[in-house]
Amino acid sequence: MAFTRITKDNLPSLIEDKYHILIAGIWSWNSWGKLDYWDTATIDIDGSMHSERGHAPNGWQTGWEKDKEFRIFPKTKPSKDIYGILSMMFTGLDLGSHVLESSFQAAQACYVVNREVFSAAIPINERPMEAFEAGLKYILPKIKNNDLRGQLPKMLDYIARDLEDGKDFRANVQAGMDADTMLGMGADQVGFSRQ
């Protein structure tokens, strides 16, 4: 197996090395699924995970573009208000009742041991797709009112492609910045997102 599911029991054996980390779970009243991915991270004995990012001389973070969040959320009817218009700027994979979208992973740290999520440590030299498949299988049955189970291969293809070329990721990061500008928000304010 190309990954280790993280538990309280095996946590002490995972604290020495660097890993890709995947945490899959449900968010927002069982209607959204999330697969949070960090390209390079370390795990502490208390179960906290810290992504490996740097800082440029101007203070901006570096390495953030390797960390991603894949969201599965229900489609909503288009609206004519500003938020409906802004939401059309984002791109993702149409899954019928839901959309799978690649997004920016803002969190640099979190806890990996939680009974309500699927957490995996993937060796740095391994591709993370086996862990993504296991994570999707964990969350798909928990998403309310969905017809997604038959679309697992399609979702895995989308994730693998976006991890490789980052096309949708870059487009959605840019869309988020454009939406913030349209709403008159600066870097110190909460930006537009589907959350």
* Segment 129-140 mean pLDDT: 96
Task: Give a yes or no: residue 83 inside a domain.
Answer: yes
Task: Give a yes or no: residue 191 inside a domain.
Answer: no
- How far is 20 from 25, CA to CA, in rounded Å? 17
Q: What confidence score (pLDDT) does residue 186 get?
A: 56
How many domains, the chain? 1
On the CB side of 124, how many CA atoms lie within 13 Å of its CA? 11
Task: Give a yes or no: residue 70 inside a domain.
Answer: yes
pLDDT tens column, 3-48: 999 999 999 999 989 999 999 999 877 788 999 999 999 999 999 9
Task: Give a yes or no: residue 194 inside a domain.
Answer: no
Range of the domain at 25: 4-52+61-182
- How far is 167 from 13, CA to CA, in rounded Å? 36
DSSP track, 79-103: -SSHHHHHHTT---EE-SSEEEEEE
CB 22 within 8 A of CB 156: no
Task: Give a yes or no: residue 193 inside a domain.
Answer: no
Task: Give a yes or no: residue 195 inside a domain.
Answer: no
* Element spanning 139, H or E: helix 129-139
The pTM score is: 0.86
Task: Give a yes or no: residue 114 inside a domain.
Answer: yes
Query: How far are the Cα atoms of 19, 69, 84, 163, 187 from residue 192, in angstroms, in the given order?
Result: 30, 15, 12, 23, 11
Give the phi and the psi of residue 74 in degrees, each rounded to 5.
Answer: -70, 145
CB count within 10 Å of CB 75 equals: 11
Task: Give a yes or no: residue 188 inside a domain.
Answer: no
Is the pLDDT at 120 greater than 70? The verdict is yes
- How far is 31 from 144, CA to CA, in rounded Å? 5
Structure tokens belonging to residue 65: 């573009």
In single-letter form, the type of residue at position 141 comes to P
Q: Where are the beta strands (DSSP E) in 28-179?
A: 32-43, 48-51, 54-55, 61-62, 68-74, 93-94, 98-104, 109-111, 118-123
pLDDT tens column, 65-89: 889 999 998 887 777 776 666 777 7
